Amino acid sequence: MSAIDDLPPLREVIATHGLSARKSLGQNFLLDLNLTAKIARQAGDLSESDVLEIGPGPGGLTRGLLSEGARKVLAIEKDARCLPALAEIAHRYPGQLQVIEGDALEIDPLAHLTPPIRVAANLPYNVGTELLVRWLTPPRWPPFWQSLTLMFQREVAERIVAQPGSKTYGRLAVLSQWRSDARIVMSLPPGAFTPPPKVSSAVVHLDALSGPRFEADATVLSRVVAAAFNQRRKMLRAALKGTAPDIEDRLTAAGIKPTDRAEQVPLEGFCALAREVAKG
């Protein structure tokens, strides 16, 4: 019996189902169920939410989410070897766990979820950033999710919460902070995982705001920010040359010095610039 439920400990689950970790799938498992329950608690009150989990693996975080009272968990897992272990959890929590086998980058989970929806995941490193950017840039806002509680490599987590003037400030910070509150809520050493990854990890929690902090068109803002940080050591008038005609005038109209570099520009400045660029 485990610390949080009456299912077998995760080491036993892994041995029973032959779930040796595969590097190609970004598999670094959390085996301490007290820790996964703690991560689940960072996601907020789950009792009235459906939770979307990407990459449940042997089910450590899944069990944390369910033991913390999640109304329903929809878990998307690419590795078919994990399905029997997940079926045992579904049996323990009847009607509360649905598992879809497949690639989270290709599956639209929304048909299986009822709002309010929270996302919680110990993300596979190879797809984590791409999923985050998709969740941050939907066609309409507010998005389908109320909050995201996500494990990243520490360095990626720092890029999400970075402030202007820091080396880690870039596209992820601007897109994350434009329409959500983002903060690091936990830090985990490599030894928390089996096998241990090379670097430390951190859990980031993002709450979706009802609207943007500053008005801007999402597509234009993404384009401007991507171009600005693509050549982050150049002055903005050079880095943004191909973005719009008369870019120096637009930068000035947005209150930005054309000789500034991207990492000096606060969120408000990028939104003002996106509005100037959108004028055509």
Instruction: Please state the closest distance from residue 210 (CB atom) to ligand SAM, in A.
Output: 30
**Residue 104: which of 122, 84, 92, 81 has the closest Cα?**
122
CB closer to ligand SAM, 100 vs 238 = 100
Residue type, 134: R
Instruction: Please state the closest distance from residue 138 (CB atom) to ligand SAM, in A.
Output: 19
Separation CA 247–CA 7 (nearest Å): 61
Task: Determine contact, residues 55/124, Cβ cutoff 8 Å.
Answer: yes
CB closer to ligand SAM, 85 vs 227 = 85
CB closer to ligand SAM, 92 vs 232 = 92
Instruction: Please state the closest distance from residue 85 (CB atom) to ligand SAM, in A.
Output: 10
Instruction: Please state the closest distance from residue 29 (CB atom) to ligand SAM, in A.
Output: 4
Instruction: Please state the closest distance from residue 25 (CB atom) to ligand SAM, in A.
Output: 4
CB closer to ligand SAM, 19 vs 136 = 19
Separation CA 163–CA 265 (nearest Å): 10
- Residue 256, number of CB atoms within 10 A of its CB: 24
CB closer to ligand SAM, 31 vs 253 = 31
Q: Which residues bind ligand SAM (CB under 6 A)?
A: 25-30, 54-57, 60-61, 76-79, 82, 103-105, 122, 124, 127
Token representation of residue 123: 């993300």
Residue type, 226: A
CB closer to ligand SAM, 105 vs 238 = 105
Instruction: Please state the closest distance from residue 156 (CB atom) to ligand SAM, in A.
Output: 13
**Residue 100: which of 68, 74, 121 has the closest Cα?**
74
CB closer to ligand SAM, 20 vs 114 = 20
Strand arrangement, sheet containing 117-122:
97-101, 72-77, 50-54, 117-122, 145-153, 201-208, 180-188
| Omega prior to 195 cis, within 30 of 0 | yes
Instruction: Please state the closest distance from residue 78 (CB atom) to ligand SAM, in A.
Output: 4
CB closer to ligand SAM, 27 vs 243 = 27
Instruction: Please state the closest distance from residue 6 (CB atom) to ligand SAM, in A.
Output: 19
What does 201-269 look like in DSSP terms, one character per residue? Answer: EEEEEEEEPSS-SS---HHHHHHHHHHHHHTTTSBHHHHTTTTSTTHHHHHHHTT--TT-BGGG--HHH
In the block, which residue shows the tokens 């950033």? Answer: 129
Token representation of residue 245: 């005609």
